Amino acid sequence: MSCHDHGSVDIESDETIALVGCPNVGKSVVFNALAERYVDVSNYPGTTVDVTEAAFEGAKLTDTPGVYGVSSFDEEERITRDIVLDADLAINVVDATRLDRDLFLTLQLLDMGIPTVVALNMMDEADADGTDVDVEALESALGVPVVPTVAIDGTGIDRLRERLPEATAPESTPIERWFADLPEDIDATRAEQTLLVEEDEQTAARVTDGEIVADGGALTFVETGQREDVYTHRRRRVEDVVADAVARRDRDSSWAERLSDYMLNPLTGTPIALAALAAIYYLIGDLVAQRLVDFMEVTVFGTYYNPAVELFVSGLLPNADWAKPVEFVLLNDNLGLLTITVQYLVGVLLPLVVAFYLVISVMEDAGVLPRLAVLTDRGLNRIGLNGRAIVPMIVGVGCVTMAVITTRMVGSRRERLISTALLGLAIPCSAQLGIIMGLLAGLGVIWWFGYVGVLLAVFGVAGLFLDRALPGESTALVTELPRLRIPRPGNILRKTYNRTKMFLREAIPLFAVTALVISVLDYVGGLGLLERGLTPVTALIGLPQEFGRVLVLGLIRRDFAAAGMTDLALGPAEMFVGLVVITLFVPCILSMTMILKERDAKSALAMWLGSWVVAFGVGGLLAVIL
Amino acid sequence: MSEMLADTDPGDAVVLESVPDDDVRARLLRLGFLDGAVECRHRLRKGPIVLRRNGTELALGADLAREIEVTSGESKR
């Protein structure tokens, strides 16, 4: 595996500095304070984890994902491990209020022999928290420079920069007692030896080309259970350092702790969570997805941009036969490359993406997501997910496309598949929901409850089915609850900007190609053919042939399908069946492109076909019952 | 006589004695949750349990809590 090829980043430098630390210690704030120019976010090759890089005093500074130790427990840890193994030195950011937790990673870096400077961050919170850290004692206990910082207001950053050349690692550390057990002929650096005695299988594969790894992945030269001995020994050293350098004063519980208690108690936490959801729905689902997007589509694009582009382009093209298909592909009313495609990307997607990343960044920064996961863990366990899957589900009601991206945070591959499939199938997005709510309101409130009931039933049954059908077991919730804090605007804006930029960089080419293919298909009459081909299935659910047109629109965008329903003259039961079918029906083209990008082609196809089957299965059943 | 983490009440101090899952055990060890007594902060009915040690709070799913054996630690109150 190439560890030097980090996507599109092209900072030419021989020296690399890794910024390493536990989650929520202010690592990215330190990173941004140090970075000089060219901050670039990219996916680490072969993964969905974002890695940020920047130039720093002639070296390349890499911000690694937050981890509690260098190992291989999850994707973040594997990435951090690879970056650390290739780094020339490390800046280890630790939270002064959580030294007992953070020093494990510090001592591990030193055991690995990585030249390190420790940034002792959040000194202000430590003070408020009643924690006194003796910086000199810590420095002498660790044997490397320790610089107290309050990264959020820039305190200590200059000193950190000054002391970086002093980065060092102790000549020898107690880890060496285990090195003697390694085979003599092994060609491994000190860092690799450390990971080897900790039973890191991927490091073993890396240094031996897989030769010494026995069947089943066990290391032949390391005793089983040795990792635990090494970890336990390191924990003893952490406790010794903490005993030397940290003193705690008694203090009253803070507002954050009291609020955290309220959030974790289901009696008070549920109303808090519901209120937060309502606020999020209002912001993403109503303010942005309805009002702002409406304004962009109707006024900005419908009145100004599209007519102007049409006039300009058709004026440019000659009145020749060959120009007709070109004009169609560029300007057609369904998905023209220069008109409607741009409208979707800029008028629909961009506002949603920005709003969504704002909300997620606020929730991340405030520390509420893990608490929401605790509240919903039990319910989600039943459908093969754990509490962390609540985030994609909430976001999905805003916009399924965006939600597909957040499935990155739900754990194993199995859980990502289940949550993505459920999102594509049973979660209506706000654009569609708005129109559907309008239509159902015309039918009466009983139909609205029926609609919600059917969707919840499908969601539950599909979840139970996937949980049973997919091999493996869901992973249990193990999550740290970071302290609650008031979100910092600078942090949020920076995250939102970086993420939006990266998302658009990936989504725009994908979407443009998809639009091109659909337009060509439309021009050669493929869509019309598809519509006629749908006659048997529309008959199955007892709806007229025109419903085929609605479905074809639904392939492109879900709210188009919902809007198409308003033109059909249908009875209440027929309308109800139609609305359920278009909700369960395939995700919109943007979501599909995103599913394709985040999952593999086989799963994406299975989900796409699966939603046809479920939509018409449930629709047919309802048609018989009603 | 040891009991299970899932039966621990909020406010109790317990020592996590045996954690069957290797990876979970290693992760708890790294965070210092196997070093000594930890405080049970919250327990949701049939849901996750929240533990605290030196200010670090950790939530564990109910399935995990049911298979972790604990003994009573010295009371912190």
Chain A residues with CB-CB distance to B47 below 8 A: 266, 374-375, 377-378
* Mean per-residue pLDDT of chain A: 86
> Within an 8 Å CB–CB cutoff, is residue A219 touching chain B?
no
Query: What average pLDDT does range A25-32 have in this prediction?
Result: 90
Comparing A8 with A267, which gets the higher pLDDT?
Answer: A267
The answer to whether residue A147 scores a pLDDT higher than 90 is yes
Cβ-Cβ contacts under 8 Å for A414 (sequence gap 6 or more):
A384, A470, A471, A472, A474
Nearest CB partner across the interface for A378, out of B24, B46, B50: B46
CB contact under 8 A, A478 and B32: no
Contacts of B25 in chain A (CB under 8 A): 228
What is the band of A581 on the pLDDT scale with cuts at 50, 70, 90?
A: very high
Kindly list the residues from chain A whose CB atom is less than 8 angstroms away from the CB atom of residue B24. Answer: 476, 478
Residue A500 pLDDT class (50, 70, 90 cuts): confident
CB contact under 8 A, B32 and A238: yes
pLDDT tens figures, A375-423:
999 999 989 899 989 888 877 877 788 788 888 777 788 999 999 999 9
Distance from CA of B1 to the nearest CA of A (A): 25
Could you say which residues from 227 to 286 on chain A have a Cβ atom under 8 Å away from some Cβ of chain B?
Answer: 227-228, 231-232, 235, 238-239, 260-261, 264-266
Alpha-carbon distance of A147 to A79, in angstroms, equals 26
pLDDT at B9 over 90: yes
Q: What is the mean pLDDT of chain B?
A: 89
The confidence band for A9, taking pLDDT boundaries of 50, 70 and 90, is very low
Determine the average pLDDT of the residues in A468-476. Answer: 87
Reported as a pLDDT band with limits 50, 70 and 90, residue A129 is confident
Q: Summarize the confidence of residues A362-371 as an average pLDDT.
A: 88
Q: What is the distance in angstroms between the Cα of A125 and the nearest Cα belonging to chain B? A: 12
Whether the per-residue pLDDT at A141 is higher than 80: the answer is yes
Residue B63 pLDDT exceeds 80: yes
Look at residue A43 in the predicted model and tell me its pLDDT: 61
- Once rounded to an integer, what is the mean pLDDT over residues A446-468? 92
Please tell me if residue A370 touches chain B, with a CB cutoff of 8 Å. yes
| CB spacing of B31 vs A480 below 8 angstroms | yes
| Per-residue pLDDT reduced to its tens digit, A233-247 | 999 999 999 999 999
Looking at A128-132, A431-435, A470-474, A497-501, which range is the least confident one? Answer: A431-435
Residue ranges of the alpha helices (H) in A281-398?
Answer: 293-294, 306-316, 323-331, 340-342, 350-366, 369-381, 390-398
Q: Pick the residue from chain B with its C-alpha nearest to A72.
A: B23
Confidence (pLDDT) at B76: 42
What is the dihedral sign for C-alpha A213, A215, A216, A218? negative
CA nearest to B62 within chain A: A378
Given strand A50-56, what is the order of strands in its sheet?
A: A37-43, A50-56, A59-63, A16-21, A89-95, A116-121, A146-148
Instruction: Give me the half-sphere count of Cα atoms (radius 13 Å) on the Cβ side of residue A575.
Output: 22
Q: What pLDDT is attached to residue A12?
A: 58
Q: In one letter, which amino acid is A167?
A: A
Instruction: Tell me what the mean pLDDT of segment A354-374 comes to.
Output: 87
Q: Which of residues 98-137 of A touch B (CB under 8 A)?
A: 98, 100-101, 104, 129
Confidence of residue A580 (pLDDT cuts 50, 70, 90): very high
Listed range (A212-221, A313-322, A334-343, A573-582) with the worst mean pLDDT:
A212-221
Confidence of residue A430 (pLDDT cuts 50, 70, 90): confident
pLDDT in the model for residue A39 = 67
Q: In chain B, what is the straight-line distance between the N-terminal and C-terminal CA atoms, in Å? A: 23
- The chain B residue lying nearest A263, using CA atoms, is B42
Which residues from A are below 8 Å from B31, CB to CB? 68, 101, 104, 480
CA distance B67 to chain A (A): 12
Give the chain B residue whose CA is nearest to the CA of A262.
Answer: B42
Identify the band that residue A2 occupies on the pLDDT scale cut at 50, 70 and 90. very low
Q: Name the amino acid, one letter, at A251.
A: R
A45-87 per-position pLDDT tens digit: 655 567 888 888 889 999 998 999 998 888 889 899 999 999 9
Chain A residues within 8 A of B46 when measuring between CB atoms: 378
Contact B58 A381 (CB under 8 A): no
pLDDT for position A1: 35
The predicted structure's pLDDT at residue A152: 87
Contact A375 B44 (CB under 8 A): yes
The beta strands (E) that lie in A111-185 are given as: 116-121, 131-133, 146-148
pLDDT of residue B74: 66
Structure tokens at A496: 């939102």
Residue with more model confidence, A479 or A397:
A479
pLDDT at residue A13, as a whole number: 63
In whole angstroms, give the CA distance from residue A600 to residue A606: 10
Please check the confidence at residue A564 and state whether its pLDDT lies above 80: no
How far does Cα A559 stand from its chain's mean position? 25
- A262, A271, A257, A333: which is closest to A301 by C-alpha? A333
User: Residue A598 above 60 pLDDT?
Assistant: yes
φ and ψ of A255, to 5 deg = -60, -35
pLDDT of residue A3: 40
Contact state of A478 with B58 under an 8 Å Cβ cutoff: yes
Share of residues in chain A with pLDDT > 70 (%):
93
Residue type, A99: L
Q: Is B17 helix (H, G, I), strand (E, B) or coil?
A: strand
pLDDT of A6 > 70? The answer is no
Amino acid at A286: D
A278 band by pLDDT with thresholds 50, 70 and 90: confident
Helices within A87-170 (DSSP H only): 99-111, 123-128, 135-142, 157-163
CB A222 within 8 A of CB A197: yes
> Amino acid letter at A280?
I
Burial code (b: 16+ CB inside 10 Å, e: under 16) for A259-278 equals ebbebbebeebeebbeebee
Residues counted in chain A: 626
Q: Which residues contact A88 (CB under 8 A, 6 or more apart)?
A: A15, A16, A17, A59, A115
pLDDT digits (tens, 9 = 90+) for A512-545: 887 888 888 888 888 788 888 888 888 888 888 8
At B77, the pLDDT band (50, 70, 90 cuts) reads very low
Please tell me the pTM assigned to this model: 0.83
pLDDT of A610: 92
- Picking from A100-109, A308-317, A469-478, which range would have the lowest pLDDT averaged per residue? A469-478
